[in-house]
Chains A and B, each alone.
Chain A
């Protein structure tokens, strides 16, 4: 029963991602980014990672993309002042390099054999919380320092006069 849902949500995630990088206006990209992130949250549910799926919707779709939309509306670049995308040799080379990277990682993904340990509940709030607060407590506490630094940095950068 997992396979049809995997194909459906995987196709939505990839399609949304393609739309993100091809839209001209950033607002359309932001809305397609929400679509792609929701599809990835559904894939997390398929893998029984319910906690991560909830965090994905709340933090990514709920906070990060809303922040993007705020900034898009705040700076509000007029339609005729959006950057004109021109096809140059360097950019074609860049896309070819990205394609090669994709090919390489696809080959690695095909060859990577993972042992199957069936019927586990590692994605629940309890399991993730246990790992987070016992095995990785130091990393978790350092995360708060990172977020504090990001908050102070964002305020210092965006403020006109400090």
Chain B
């Protein structure tokens, strides 16, 4: 039997790798994928906690996180298409028209 903390540790590692992708990459597509990785790491914690505690709430929360992830991907990619049409770039450092 695997310790519950092993699953939480794996979840933390996946989340941390996602954070590295968000802060260290310039490609907007890869940043969006890293956000998906972070949400997925959180899902590992929810599902394993729900399973160890014998409560279906963990599964319900993971379900909600997946819904939010799908909505976020749809809106994020639509924004990316609109931006690419306007600026012809997917470099995050060139997309700073809101910055003074």
* Docked-complex contact A29 and B33, CB < 8 angstroms: yes
* Docked-complex contact B80 and A47, CB < 8 angstroms: no
Q: How far is the CB of B16 from chain A (nearest CB, A)?
A: 3
* Docked-complex contact A120 and B60, CB < 8 angstroms: no
* Docked-complex contact B23 and A55, CB < 8 angstroms: no
CB-CB under 8 A from A95, the residues of chain B are: 20, 23-24
Q: A36 is contacted by which of B7, B37, B80 (Cβ under 8 Å)? A: B37
Query: What residue of chain A has the Cβ atom nearest to residue B74's Cβ?
Result: A154
Q: Is A8 an interface residue (CB 8 A)?
A: no
Interface residues contributed by chain A, number (CB under 8 Å): 85
| Complex Cα gap A11–B15 (Å) | 14
Interface size band for B: 35 or more
Q: B70 is contacted by which of A51, A59, A74 (Cβ under 8 Å)? A: A59
CB-CB under 8 A from A47, the residues of chain B are: 7, 47-48, 51
Q: Is A89 an interface residue (CB 8 A)?
A: no
Q: A47-B47, A98-B16, A99-B16 are in contact. Are A52 and B63 (CB under 8 A)?
A: yes
| Complex Cα gap A147–B70 (Å) | 8
Main secondary structure on A side of the interface with B: helix
| Complex Cα gap A116–B89 (Å) | 51
* Docked-complex contact B12 and A68, CB < 8 angstroms: no
Query: What residue of chain A has the Cβ atom nearest to residue B23's Cβ?
Result: A94
Given contacts A63-B70, A94-B24, A130-B56, 9 further A-B contacts (CB under 8 A): A6-B2, A29-B30, A47-B48, A49-B62, A68-B32, A105-B8, A128-B60, A131-B57, A147-B71
**9 residue pairs, one from A and one from B, having the closest CB atoms:** A102-B16, A94-B23, A21-B21, A150-B71, A109-B8, A105-B12, A117-B54, A83-B91, A131-B56
14 contacts between A and B (CB under 8 A): A2-B1, A2-B2, A3-B1, A17-B37, A43-B7, A49-B47, A64-B69, A68-B29, A94-B24, A112-B4, A122-B59, A132-B63, A147-B71, A150-B74
Chain B residues in the interface with A (C-beta under 8 A) = 1-2, 4-21, 23-27, 29-30, 32-34, 36-37, 40, 43-44, 47-60, 62-64, 66-75, 77-82, 84-85, 89-93
